[in-house]
């Protein structure tokens, strides 16, 4: 990771498996070894499984060891990134976004300079390949996407499904000419994969273009590029680049 020299590191949740203190301590050590700045949001596995702790101390360990801020925000001269917490006590696997969260994103990203690349980070996805269906998405996804489209959000980053892929939101959602990019993260370092090796994404931006490299773990333990997707922005709509 340090060799890549990233401008910002994004982690889309599930820092732990059972939300145990020891797991959060190890997660903290892992984060401390990564470059800064970092945008980190919790996942459903960061909520305790024990029924009492699940409701009484929902994300206490996360706040203690990872960050008291469940919805961090980052902005520089090129990007504005808003983190959203979709992990809830009442859902075991699924996630949810509420009206107040939508309003906060509208305020932060809506007021960011128009020339910045606007990114939302969640654990549960707002969009996925069409064959997954709407039930796999975060609850209230369509409502949130309609509002975020008005803010000109460019990219949606998510995790949860342990698979690496990306695509255009216009294949599921129709909001005029608007089309953003959704990028799904694979499993970076856990042994709980979903039929693919450990992987992470590297996103590079320049002018009105974005390239997304997926780096996958090889047999010697190193991460190497295995796929690249490229997009270009035309009049507020992201499309696949002709040289993809």
H-run or E-run covering 234: strand 223-234
* Nearest of 240, 179, 237 to residue 212 by alpha carbon: 240
Give the model's confidence band at 62: pLDDT under 50 very low, under 70 low, under 90 confident, else very high: very high
The pLDDT of residue 92: 62
Give the model's confidence band at 90: pLDDT under 50 very low, under 70 low, under 90 confident, else very high: low
Burial of 95 (C-beta count, 10 Å sphere; 0-12/13-18/19+): buried
pLDDT, average across residues 211-235: 93
| Most confident listed range (81-90, 117-126, 192-201) | 117-126
Give the model's confidence band at 203: pLDDT under 50 very low, under 70 low, under 90 confident, else very high: very high
Give the Cα separation of 123 and 183 in Å (integer): 11
DSSP labels, 58-116: TTHHHHHHT-S-SS-EEE-SSEEEEE-----SS-SS--B--HHHHHHHHHHHHTS-TTS
Query: Rounded mean pLDDT of the chain?
Result: 91
Structure-token match 């369509």, residue found: 142
DSSP labels, 23-39: HHHHHHHHHHTS-SSEE
| pTM of the predicted protein model | 0.94
Checking if the pLDDT of 30 tops 90, the result is yes
The pLDDT of residue 244: 54
The pLDDT of residue 89: 73
Checking if the pLDDT of 52 tops 50, the result is no
Residues 6+ apart with CB under 8 A from 154: 117, 118, 119, 180, 181, 210, 233, 238
The pLDDT of residue 57: 59
Q: Which domains does the chain have, with CATH numbers?
A: 70-240 (3.60.21.10)
Of residues 127 and 134, more confidently modeled: 127
Residues 6+ apart with CB under 8 A from 218: 197, 224
The pLDDT of residue 151: 93
Neighbours of 145 (CB within 10 A): 24
Helix, strand, coil percent content, the chain, rounded in steps of 5 = 25, 30, 45
H-run or E-run covering 150: helix 141-151
Checking if the pLDDT of 54 tops 80, the result is no
> pLDDT tens digits for 168-181?
999 999 999 999 99
Checking if the pLDDT of 56 tops 80, the result is no
Q: Which region among 24-28, 62-66, 232-236 has the lowest average model confidence (pLDDT)?
A: 232-236
Residues 6+ apart with CB under 8 A from 78: 7, 116, 117, 205
Checking if the pLDDT of 140 tops 70, the result is yes
- The answer to whether the CB of 167 falls within 8 A of the CB of 127 is yes
């Amino acid at each position: 990771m340090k060799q890549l020299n990233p401008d910002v590191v994004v982690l889309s949740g599930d820092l732990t498996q059972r939300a145990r203190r020891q797991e959060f301590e190890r997660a903290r050590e892992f984060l401390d070894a990564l470059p800064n700045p970092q945008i980190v949001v919790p996942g459903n596995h960061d909520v305790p499984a024990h029924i009492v702790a699940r409701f009484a101390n929902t994300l206490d360990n996360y706040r203690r060891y990872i960050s008291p801020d469940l919805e961090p925000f980052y902005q520089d001269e090129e990007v504005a990134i808003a983190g959203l917490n979709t992990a809830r006590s009442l859902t075991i696997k699924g996630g949810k976004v509420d009206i107040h969260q939508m309003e906060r994103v509208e305020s932060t990203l809506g007021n960011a300079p128009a020339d910045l690349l606007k990114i939302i980070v969640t654990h549960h996805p707002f969009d996925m390949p069409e064959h997954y269906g709407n039930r796999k998405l975060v609850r209230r996804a369509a409502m949130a996407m309609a509002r975020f489209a008005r803010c000109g959000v460019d990219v949606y980053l998510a995790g949860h499904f342990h698979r690496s892929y990306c695509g255009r939101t216009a294949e599921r959602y129709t909001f005029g000419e608007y089309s953003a990019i959704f990028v799904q993260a694979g499993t970076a370092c856990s042994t709980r994969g979903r039929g693919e090796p450990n992987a992470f994404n590297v996103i590079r931006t320049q002018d009105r273009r974005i390239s997304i490299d997926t780096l996958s773990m090889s047999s010697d333990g190193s991460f190497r590029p295995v796929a690249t997707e490229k997009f270009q922005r035309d009049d507020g709509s992201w499309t696949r680049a002709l040289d993809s």
